């Protein structure tokens, strides 16, 4: 893919060196013999799945894991050879896409396994599946019972599919609940393996459990957040680097007189003469609208509070204490937490949500700029 022109000053900068660093660090922590199914759903948590995939795969990724068929197809269109895994459910009528694009599919019923088996035969392929086993999250998966073990047994007997793995997912409700889930999982795996079947990959850990529960890693983990340097685990000895910076430029500046209002409903009014800047980003770019009167951006290393209602495409900041600010000056919306910037963790706290949501809600209107060795190596402007 060729570089595309920017044509917009509100951008997501993605530091590919940081993603590479995080991948290597994760690999170092878990050890060489444990595989990584790198979770790049939701456009790689906003970082751009297609453009970060090579960095991930060249630094220890075994699989690219996504939630939906369309996410898998977006990656497959660009990369013929990467292993791609759909962790979610794909309805029967779309399963031929899975087979014809060599995508590994999550399965939690005999009937879907049979459909894949038939499609495999018809297309002279051997679809690869991972069994999803529900140990208490109560989202997707085989129920934890003997009938399920029997069904998995039946799935193994199908000749035209390859049962490569089995997995589960923690609710992370607490140590006791997590232990219970892990034990259920291992017990189910053992019951199946006692019948003579083998799973190449067994996995239950995401980012948090993958770091904090070394004893639960089995031989694969499915980290998402930590690849992007979004840390929610407890182990403070493991440092990772946030990969995303959200930036824009000042587009307009004016002096307001005491008593003037700003933005819809005049929820903010000047209590003295002041300077107000207009910034070209809003909730349609993924910035949380509920950060009205809470959000802070950084200009010339100083904090500028967002004032008034955040609009779809623009918002206003108080520049009274930053008199040197000029139109065209750089604004850091999400930084690394240094130099008076707010990082994604701080933004998520202010917006009363989690880091993953803050990252993945960045929309495709915002171009992604990829940095490697402090140079721009790629611009992706999805709208062009």
Ligand X SMILES: *Cc1c(COP(=O)(O)O)cnc(C)c1O
Give the annotated binding-site residues for substrate: 139, 312
Least distance between ligand X and beta carbon 247 (Å)? 24
* Nearest to ligand X of 25, 41 (CB atom): 41
Judged by beta carbon, residue 200 or residue 372, the one nearer ligand X is 200
Closest contact distance (angstroms) between CB of 272 and ligand X is 45
The residues annotated with a catalytic role in the active site are 41, 264
Which residue, judged by CB position, is nearest to ligand X in the bound state? 224
Contacts with ligand X by CB under 6 A lie at 39, 41, 87, 169, 206-207, 222-225, 356
Q: Minimum CB separation from ligand X for residue 230, in Å?
A: 7
Q: Which residues does the annotation place in the binding site?
A: 139, 312
Structure tokens at 253: 């500046």
3-class state of residue 130 by DSSP = strand
Question: Any idea which residue has 């070394």 for tokens?
Answer: 214
Longest dimension (CA), the chain: 80
- Residue 229 or 288 with smaller CB distance to ligand X: 229
Element (H, E) at 355: helix 355-360
Indicate the Cα dihedral angle 95, 100, 102, 107, nearest 10°: 10
User: Shortest Cβ distance from residue 264 to ligand X (Å)?
Assistant: 35
Tokens for 145, please give them: 């019972």
| 146-157 vs 175-193: helix crossing angle, rounded to 10 | 50
Q: What single string gives the DSSP state of each residue in 64-95?
A: EEESSHHHHHHHHHH-SSS-EEE-S---GGGH
For residues 169 and 132, give the distance between their C-alpha atoms in angstroms, rounded to a whole number. 9
Q: Which of residues 71 and 336 has its CB atom nearest to ligand X in the complex?
A: 71
């Amino acid at each position: 893919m060729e570089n595309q022109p920017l044509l917009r000053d509100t951008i997501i900068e993605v530091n590919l060196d940081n993603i590479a660093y995080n991948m290597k660090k994760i690999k170092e922590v878990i050890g060489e013999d444990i595989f990584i199914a790198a979770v790049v759903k939701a456009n790689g948590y906003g970082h751009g799945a297609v453009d970060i995939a090579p960095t991930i795969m060249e630094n220890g990724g075994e699989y690219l894991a996504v939630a939906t068929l369309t996410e898998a197809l977006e990656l497959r269109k660009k990369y013929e050879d990467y292993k791609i895994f759909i962790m979610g459910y794909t309805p029967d009528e779309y399963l031929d896409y899975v087979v014809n694009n060599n995508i590994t599919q999550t399965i939690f019923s005999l009937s879907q396994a049979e459909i894949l088996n038939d499609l495999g035969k018809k297309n002279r392929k051997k679809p690869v599946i991972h069994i999803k086993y529900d140990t208490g999250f109560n989202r997707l998966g085989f129920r934890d019972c003997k009938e399920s073990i029997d069904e998995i047994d039946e799935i193994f007997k199908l000749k035209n599919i390859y049962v490569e793995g089995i997995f589960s997912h923690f609710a992370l409700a607490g140590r006791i609940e997590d232990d219970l889930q892990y034990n259920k999982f291992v017990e189910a795996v053992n019951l199946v393996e006692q019948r003579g079947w083998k799973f190449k990959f067994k996995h239950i850990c995401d980012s948090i459990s993958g770091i904090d529960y070394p004893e639960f890693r089995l031989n694969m983990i499915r980290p998402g957040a930590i690849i992007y340097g979004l840390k929610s685990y407890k182990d403070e000895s493991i440092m990772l680097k946030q990969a995303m910076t959200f930036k824009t430029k000042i587009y307009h500046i004016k002096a307001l007189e005491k008593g003037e209002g700003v933005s819809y409903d005049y929820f903010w009014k000047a209590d003295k003469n002041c300077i107000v800047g207009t910034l070209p980003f809003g909730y349609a770019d993924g910035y949380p609208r509920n950060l009205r009167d809470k959000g802070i951006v950084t200009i010339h290393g100083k904090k500028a509070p967002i004032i008034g209602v955040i609009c779809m495409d623009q918002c206003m900041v108080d520049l009274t204490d930053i008199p040197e600010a000029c139109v065209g000056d750089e604004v850091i919306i999400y930084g690394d937490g240094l130099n008076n910037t707010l990082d994604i963790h701080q933004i998520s706290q202010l917006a009363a949500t989690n880091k993953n949501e803050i990252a993945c809600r960045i929309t495709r209107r915002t171009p992604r700029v990829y940095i490697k060795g402090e140079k721009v190596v790629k611009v992706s402007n999805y709208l062009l």
